[in-house]
């Protein structure tokens, strides 16, 4: 587009967007009344024509406007302009609808009066469009008869039969060698086995520790058996407060002994989360241990027995079970390695058999290829004979087709002349019926288009008058809503104060628990260091015992690996 055309298009687009509410009133009414059967995809077309007629008609002029209208579909433009430039519609409902959007004085002076001033000239344009529609000639297309022409084809030269050439034998791609990493165990397996043995040993240690501490409250060390009688005499002489202090100290010592059984580096590296749940949980733990120690002291006063000998026997038997389980696990590992070596040997044997089968298949394939080549030569000779016979038959068929085509052309010309006359009569009758129907529809729509405008004024201080018990006006409803909001705010303030008091009490409880936990931890650290030093001095050495089955399996594995390597060298 040049500069002027581009400016006109952009101004039209901006105007249609700015005055969309006014234009939608006219176009929506057109689709309801006259344009009921028009496609909705042409809505923007009617919006542009309505904008040009309303706001741009004086600037562009009637001649340019009529040129735009005539370039579009004649029937659609005639129908829309006759609807829009109707005096009755412009002075009644179009004016009222536009007055709801803009001021009524502005609508009358700047929109309605210019349209009424241009209405006689636009009416002449509408009459021209109607004449063009009525005088549209009905052209009956006569089908042209095609005259066939014979193709000027050159006679094909006879092809020479190529000498039979031996078909190339297919070459199979070389197989990739087996990577050596298949015969080596992966590093991850060794790492997983080491981690597995460590985890099993750790779980066994934890199980032994849990079983030894199961009846701790009833155990009495041999050092303390002699002093039991003196202790009972002292218990009878002390007061209640002194009794609680002694029990508290015994709970601390018992907890220290349990923690010293773990390594010192693990104790130092334990992460401690100082949130509310952790503090309350740890405080409950220490309180529970205090109650358990009180029960243990009461049982000692009543003369409970010692179960240390039973625990020693139980520890020895469990150690034997652990050794048996380790030996069984080692046997299973070696059996797995032995089965792996046997599987590799079997795979090597299968590959040798497959090679022999492949050689036999190649020989059979070469024989089949030779037979196929001979069959193809025979088929080519037969096809050449068929082609020669077909070419002779085509020459006779062309003459028969030309005669039949001339006879069909004569029949088609007669049918076209008769059908043309019948079509003209039918179209004239249909046009008369459509005109009568169109006039009746326009009269009915003109009667239905008179809009009824109703205005209802609402008083907010009056009730609806529906006869309900809780009926109230809008003003009273607003006052009650304001009172409810004030009451809700007061309830929220009370609840907020209550939450603050509860939060302060909870914080004070947590601070008390923290003081108690810090005392426990200080004592636990001292006892753990002392117990770790004693444990380092008295650590016995461990020895690994191998079973006879394990030794036998290892020997078998060595023999199989040697045999597999020899077989691989032969391959």
pLDDT digit string, tens, across residues 317-375: 888 888 888 888 888 888 888 888 888 888 888 888 888 888 888 888 888 888 888 88
- Diameter of the chain measured on Cα atoms: 145
Task: Report how far residue 159's alpha carbon sits from residue 381's, in angstroms, rounded to the nearest whole number.
Answer: 11
The rounded percent of the chain whose pLDDT value lies above 90 is 6
Mean pLDDT of all residues belonging to the chain = 79
Most confident of the ranges 101-110, 384-393, 554-563: 101-110
Contact between residue 83 and residue 33 where contact means Cβ atoms under 8 Å apart: yes
In 213-307, which residue ranges form alpha helices assigned H by DSSP?
A: 222-225, 228-237, 240-260, 264-268, 276-301
3-class secondary structure, 452 = coil
How would you classify residue 65: left for phi > 0, otherwise alpha for psi between -120 and 50, otherwise beta?
alpha
Task: Report how far residue 533's alpha carbon sits from residue 536's, in angstroms, rounded to the nearest whole number.
Answer: 5
pLDDT of residue 486: 94
Contact between residue 284 and residue 513 where contact means Cβ atoms under 8 Å apart: no
pLDDT higher at 139 or 103: 103
Average pLDDT over residues 133-161: 73
* Torsion 534-537-540-541 (CA) sign: positive
Domain boundaries, the chain: 3-137, 496-539
Q: What is the CA radius of gyration of the chain?
A: 55
Helix axes 74-84, 43-55, angle to 10 degrees: 50
In 449-458, which residue ranges form alpha helices assigned H by DSSP?
A: none
* Torsion 73-75-79-81 (CA) sign: positive
Task: Report how far residue 35's alpha carbon sits from residue 551's, in angstroms, rounded to the nearest whole number.
Answer: 101
pLDDT higher at 392 or 85: 85
pLDDT of residue 264: 43
Residues constituting the chain = 571
Contact between residue 33 and residue 82 where contact means Cβ atoms under 8 Å apart: no
Q: How far is CA 85 from the centre of its chain?
A: 56
3-class secondary structure, 458 = coil
pLDDT of residue 479: 92
Please give the angle made by the CA atoms of 121, 123 and 127, to the nearest 5 degrees: 120
3-class secondary structure, 175 = coil
pLDDT higher at 173 or 119: 119
Task: Report how far residue 246's alpha carbon sits from residue 239's, in angstroms, rounded to the nearest whole number.
Answer: 11
pLDDT of residue 461: 81
Contact between residue 473 and residue 463 where contact means Cβ atoms under 8 Å apart: yes
Which tokens hold the place of 399?
Answer: 């003459």
Give per-residue pLDDT as tens, 250-305.
545 555 455 444 444 444 445 555 677 888 888 888 888 878 878 877 777 776 65
Task: Report how far residue 328's alpha carbon sits from residue 334's, in angstroms, rounded to the nearest whole number.
Answer: 10
pLDDT of residue 539: 53
pLDDT of residue 348: 80
Most confident of the ranges 137-151, 227-241, 526-540, 542-556: 526-540
pLDDT of residue 402: 77
Q: How far is CA 477 from the centre of its chain?
A: 48
Q: How far is CA 372 from the centre of its chain?
A: 56
Which tokens hold the place of 258?
Answer: 């349990």
């Amino acid at each position: 587009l040049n500069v002027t055309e581009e400016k006109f298009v952009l101004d039209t687009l901006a105007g249609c967007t700015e005055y969309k509410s006014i234009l939608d009133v006219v176009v929506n009414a057109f689709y309801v009344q006259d344009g009921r059967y028009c496609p909705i995809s042409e809505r923007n077309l009617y919006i542009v024509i309505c904008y040009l007629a309303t706001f741009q008609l004086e600037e562009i002029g009637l001649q340019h406007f009529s040129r735009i209208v005539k370039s579009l579909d004649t029937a659609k433009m005639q129908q829309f302009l006759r609807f829009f430039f109707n005096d009755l519609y412009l002075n009644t409902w179009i004016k009222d609808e536009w007055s709801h959007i803009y001021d009524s004085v502005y609508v009358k002076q700047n929109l309605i009066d210019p349209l009424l001033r241009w209405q006689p000239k636009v009416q002449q344009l509408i009459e021209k469009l109607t004449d063009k529609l009525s005088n549209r000639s009905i052209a009956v297309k006569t089908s042209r008869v095609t005259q066939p022409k014979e193709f000027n084809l050159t006679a094909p030269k006879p092809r020479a039969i190529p000498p039979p050439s031996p078909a190339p034998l297919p070459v199979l791609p070389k197989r990739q060698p087996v990577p050596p990493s298949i015969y080596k165990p992966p590093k991850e397996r060794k790492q997983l086995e080491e981690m597995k043995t460590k985890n099993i040993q750790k779980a066994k240690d934890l199980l032994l520790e849990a079983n030894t501490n199961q009846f701790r409250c009833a155990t009495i060390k041999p050092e303390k058996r002699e002093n039991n009688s003196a202790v009972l005499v002292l218990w009878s002489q002390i007061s209640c407060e002194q009794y609680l202090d002694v029990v508290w100290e015994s709970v601390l010592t018992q907890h220290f002994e349990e923690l010293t059984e773990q390594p010192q580096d693990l104790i130092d590296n334990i992460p401690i989360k100082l949130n509310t749940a952790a503090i309350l949980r740890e405080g409950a733990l220490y309180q529970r241990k205090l109650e358990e120690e009180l029960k243990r002291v009461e049982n000692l006063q009543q003369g409970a027995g010692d179960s240390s000998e039973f625990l020693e026997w139980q520890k020895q038997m469990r150690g034997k079970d652990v050794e048996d389980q380790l030996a069984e696990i080692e046997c299973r590992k070696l059996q797995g390695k032995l089965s792996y070596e046997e599987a590799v040997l079997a795979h090597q044997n299968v590959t040798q058999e497959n090679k022999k089968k492949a050689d036999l298949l190649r020989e059979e394939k070469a024989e089949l290829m030779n037979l196929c080549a001979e069959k193809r030569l025979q088929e080519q000779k037969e096809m050449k004979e068929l082609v020669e016979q077909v070419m002779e038959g085509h020459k006779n068929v062309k003459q028969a087709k030309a005669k039949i085509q001339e006879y069909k052309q004569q029949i088609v010309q007669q049918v076209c002349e008769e059908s043309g006359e019948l079509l003209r009569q039918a179209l004239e009758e249909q046009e008369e019926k459509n005109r009568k129907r169109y006039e009746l529809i326009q009269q009915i729509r003109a009667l239905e288009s008179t809009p009824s405008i109703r205005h209802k004024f609402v008083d907010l201080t009056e009730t609806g008058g529906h006869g309900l018990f809780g009926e109230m006006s809008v003003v009273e409803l607003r006052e009650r809503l304001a009172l409810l909001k004030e009451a809700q705010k007061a309830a929220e303030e009370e609840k907020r104060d209550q939450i603050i008091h509860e939060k302060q009490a909870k914080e004070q409880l947590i601070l008390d628990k923290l003081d108690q936990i810090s005392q426990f931890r200080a004592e636990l650290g001292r006892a753990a260091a002392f117990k770790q030093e004693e444990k380092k001095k008295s650590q016995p050495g461990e020895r690994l015992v191998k079973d006879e089955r394990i030794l036998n399996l290892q020997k078998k594995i060595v023999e199989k690996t040697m045999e597999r390597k020899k077989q691989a060298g032969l391959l």
